[in-house]
Structures are given as C-alpha cells and as structure tokens.
Amino acid sequence: MIKNICCIGAGYVGGPTMTVMAYKCPEIKITVVDMNAKRIADWNSDDFSKIPVFEPGLADLVKEVRGKNLFFSTEVDKAIDEADMIFMSVNTPTKEYGKGAGMAADLKYIELCARQIARVSKNNKIVVEKSTLPVRTAEAIRSILDNTGNHVKFQILSNPEFLAEGTAINDLLNADRVLIGGLQTEEGKAAIEELTAIYAHWIPRERIIQTNVWSSELSKLTANAFLAQRISSINSLSALCEKTEADVTEVAKAIGADSRIGNKFLTASVGFGGSCFQKDLLNLVYICHSLGLEEVAEYWNQVIKMNNYQKHRFADNIITTLYNTVSAKKIAFLGWAFKKNTNDTRETPAMYVADYLLEDLANIEVYDPKVTENQMYSDINHLNSRDNEVNHKQLKMVSDPYQACKDAHAVVILTEWDEFKELDWKKIHDNMMKPAFVFDGRNILKRQDMEALGFNYHGIGR
C-alpha cells in the first residue's frame, strides 16, 4: 500500500493533480517538490490568491489539504527518499537546440529527474510518468534507473494527464478516464494495481484503463492530436464560411448533432494555443519522421499548418479591414491568456496576433483579468521580433477593459473570458474612434447586438 507520494514538478499539472489526490486520499502523505523556489514559496503563500496556478476551485482545495497531507517543498532529495511512489510531472517543451530542434520534446528535465531518483533512492519505488512523453520514453528511464541506482528495484508506469486548464479541478474529480500503462510482467501488473487503488478512491474502476506502457504513452500524444485536429478542421471551414456566407457556428451545430461526430471541440477560433497541442503534435510528427512514416508525419503536420494559417489569417484580416494599415492606430486587446479561466499564456494566439500587428506599427493596449504585464512582455520578447524597448513602447497592459478600448480603432477579442460578454458595449462604442470595429476571435458576441450599437463586427467564419 502506498503511504507516501512525491511529485516532482509543481506546475499546472503537478499542483492541481496532487491537490485533488491529497483531498481524495487523506491517508497518503503527498509532497510536491520543485527546483523553482519562488514557485514553491507561492504554493505555500498564506494568501491563497497568490498560488501560482489560477484554476477555478483550486485555491479552496489547497486550503483544505495543505499542511495536513499535502506539502510543497524544495527539498527534492528528501521527498524522493521518503516516497514509495514518485510522479514525474516536469515540463517537456519543444526542443529549441540541436538534434530535433523545433520538433522533438526536450527530455532533459525528465532525464534529470530520473538521474536524481536513481541517485537518491535506497528502497524500491514505483516511478510514474505524469508528463507527456514520446512513446518509448519509459525504456530510456528504465535504462537510467537500472544502471545508476543503488541496486534498488523500480517499476515504471505511464499515467498521462488529460486535464484541461481552466477546468482542471472538475476534470480531475470527474475524469472521463484514467490511463495507467505498465510492463506486462507480474511486478509491472502489481504496480499498475497500486496506482489503480489510489485513483479508485474517487474514479469508478470501469473508467480506469490499464494498458501496456507504450500504448499509454502513445495514447496521450494522440489524444491531443485528435483534439487539435478537430479545431483545425472547424477553423479550416471558418475560412470557407467567410467566402460563402455560411455561418461556421451553424455548420458546427449541424455537424456536431451527428452523434458519431459529437458537438464538443468544434468552436472555431483565432487558433488553438496552450503549452501542449502544438508541442505534442510536433513531437508526434517528429516521431513519425524518425520512424520513416513520412505520410503519417505530413498528415498530422497539416493540423499545425492550419493553426498557423488561422492566426495569421485573423491578424491579416484586421489590417486589411482597417484600410490596410494599423500604423499608429490604437488597437485594444481583450484577453491575453490562451483560454478563459487560466493565467497561462503559453503559445497563446494573442501574442502571435500582437506580433503581426506590432510589425505593422500598431499601438496595442491589452486587458486580461489574470495575466500580469511581466508575463505579457516575456511572451512577446520571446518571439524575438524586435527590441524589448520597442515592444514596451507599442504594447501596454492596462487594468481596466474600458481604458484599453478608449480611443481605439478596433477591439480584438483574443480570450473568451465570460466578463467580456457583460461589458457595457455601448459605453465602449461611444468612446472609440469611428468607425468602430470589433474582431471577435472567439465568437462570444452577437453580431446583431453589436451592429445595433453601431459596431462594424467581424467574427470568425460568420
């Protein structure tokens, strides 16, 4: 029976996942460790609004379990040593250097974890891959653990995470499925059962899928590929709708009513963002290339190409509509996060749209309820398109949506925050330059309402 868990990585997955696990398994002590001391200090903050991940419902749960059976710490070695089971929940971003740059997953953090576990461990442990990893990573981890350890026996499981940001707590509490992959040996199956018993505290057994370790690793990458593919599919149609007077929201409703297709993940948008879809698709494409499966690689690569096209098409449409120039014009951005109910901005479409408009010398004022100004500058600077100084001059963040929109030529909606629907749009219109344009990258506003107020309204695909 597992009594003590260590989770390496206190990020968007490690934090919420372990909080829910601690909440549902009061008899297990869980320590979440990270090498980022600031992040750990924030998780331990007395002010629960300061915990580093904004996620509806998360702060309340942390309040409930932190200090009881959930602990956040920088003492990685100690937590590894004490644990029976170790989750590796570290980041696996797209590699930015050397072999596979721009495509492969960078596994240096995972390798570091494995080496640390091997170095520190004195008794047998179950090591769980929680991070999203290329298929067959468990083989590399096994090799590290078996060859540098203190003759300790490790079992390696794959237990990918399927939560989506903004709905993480609900996704964790009511998961469609939990996937656990392991070696099909006696010891491997016993380890699978240990982890199954933990999830069975709150997930019905029939929703806990047990597979071999490779199927589990591959299923995570491909689940994200399928989800992203749906968005690129509907976004491709949005371009066609704009040329034909079909309305993409009506088309999505009509095709989604077919139970074989289903109605979820058919919202046309400025494009998908987030830390994982693009990274995992690139990784899948890279794996297929590496295995000589060129046609398969190219098939999935199209999903990324369509997403890039959509972001570019949206930004380009803004410039074309604003009489082919946004130079020195004020443009208001509502939203910077990659989706609502999160403070995460990784791969947010907003930064690509901003980058394109800044190139055309626009002045952009951004309002986002949860994203900090520092984060916004860090995002735009990371694109390396122009000097930090120029970015600071042309791009600003304000703490009030009305201020962002005041005297703007256009309002651009980049994130579907609910509060944007509730704004006083008449007041916004009154205070804008005329004609006043709205580019609704999330299709959250009603065309009729906006036109009645005098706006020149542009949705996606309608």
Catalytic residue IDs: 161, 220, 276
131 near ligand NAD (CB under 6 A): yes
Restricted to residues 36-65, the positions that interact with ligand NAD (CB under 6 A) are: 36, 39
Mark 365-381 as b/e (b = at least 16 C-beta within 10 Å). bbbbbbbebebbbebbe
Q: In the complex with ligand NAD, which residue's Cβ is closer, 36 or 185? A: 36
Restricted to residues 271-290, the positions that interact with ligand NAD (CB under 6 A) are: 275-276
Q: In the complex with ligand NAD, which residue's Cβ is closer, 344 or 355? A: 344
Which range, of 116-124, 209-217, 266-274, 398-406, touches ligand UGA by CB under 6 A? 266-274
Binding partner at 200 among ligand UGA, ligand NAD, none, C-beta below 5 to 8 Å by kind: none
112 near ligand NAD (CB under 6 A): yes
Closest-CA residue to 117 (of 92, 90, 141) = 141
Binding partner at 34 among ligand UGA, ligand NAD, none, C-beta below 5 to 8 Å by kind: ligand NAD
Binding partner at 224 among ligand UGA, ligand NAD, none, C-beta below 5 to 8 Å by kind: ligand UGA
Q: Is 377 in contact with 388 (CB distance < 8 Å)?
A: yes
Q: Which of 40, 105, 276, 364 binds ligand UGA (CB under 6 A)?
A: 276
DSSP output for 384-413: TSS-HHHHHHHEEE-S-HHHHHTT-SEEEE
Q: How far is CA 264 from the centre of its chain?
A: 17
Residues 330, 318: Cα–Cα separation, whole Å: 12
Write the CA distances from 131 to 24, 87, 157, 300, integer angstroms: 21, 9, 11, 21
Q: Which of 34, 106, 161, 368 binds ligand UGA (CB under 6 A)?
A: 161
Which range, of 89-97, 147-155, 189-197, 391-399, touches ligand NAD by CB under 6 A? 89-97
Q: Cα(first)–Cα(last) distance of the chain, in Å? A: 56
Half-sphere exposure of 416 (CA within 13 A, CB side): 16
Binding partner at 335 among ligand UGA, ligand NAD, none, C-beta below 5 to 8 Å by kind: none
Q: Which of 109, 202, 214, 265 binds ligand UGA (CB under 6 A)?
A: 265
Residues 440, 420: Cα–Cα separation, whole Å: 11
> Counting beta carbons within 10 angstroms of the beta carbon of residue 342, is it exposed (0 to 12), middle (13 to 18) or buried (19 or more)?
buried
Which range, of 85-93, 100-108, 274-282, 385-393, touches ligand UGA by CB under 6 A? 274-282
Q: Give residue 158's identity as a one-letter amino acid code.
A: S
Q: Is 90 in contact with 110 (CB distance < 8 Å)?
A: yes
State the residue number with the nearest CB to ligand NAD: 11
Q: In the complex with ligand UGA, which residue's Cβ is closer, 24 or 339? A: 339
Q: In the complex with ligand UGA, which residue's Cβ is closer, 69 or 283? A: 283
Q: Which of 159, 219, 267, 363 binds ligand UGA (CB under 6 A)?
A: 267
Closest-CA residue to 443 (of 187, 235, 157) = 235
Binding string, residues 371-410; x marks residues near ligand UGA by CB under 6 A: ----------------------------------------
Strands 410-413 and 437-440: parallel
Instruction: Give the list of residues 6+ apart from residue 289 with CB closer than 8 angstroms, or none.
Output: 103, 297
Q: In the complex with ligand NAD, which residue's Cβ is closer, 41 or 257? A: 41
Q: Which of 89, 210, 267, 310 binds ligand NAD (CB under 6 A)?
A: 89
Residues 409, 308: Cα–Cα separation, whole Å: 25
Mark 106-115 as b/e (b = at least 16 C-beta within 10 Å). bbebbeebbe
Which range, of 162-170, 238-246, 327-335, 360-368, touches ligand UGA by CB under 6 A? 162-170
CB of 381 to ligand UGA, least distance (A): 21
Restricted to residues 190-249, the positions that interact with ligand UGA (CB under 6 A) are: 224, 227, 231
Residues 404, 415: Cα–Cα separation, whole Å: 15
440 near ligand UGA (CB under 6 A): no
- What is the 8-class DSSP label of residue 105? B
Binding partner at 131 among ligand UGA, ligand NAD, none, C-beta below 5 to 8 Å by kind: ligand NAD
Residues 314, 309: Cα–Cα separation, whole Å: 8
Q: Binding residues for ligand UGA, per CB under 6 A?
A: 132, 161-165, 224, 227, 231, 265-267, 269, 272-274, 276-277, 338-339
Q: Binding residues for ligand NAD, per CB under 6 A?
A: 8-14, 33-36, 39, 76, 89-92, 109, 112-113, 131-132, 161, 163, 165, 275-276
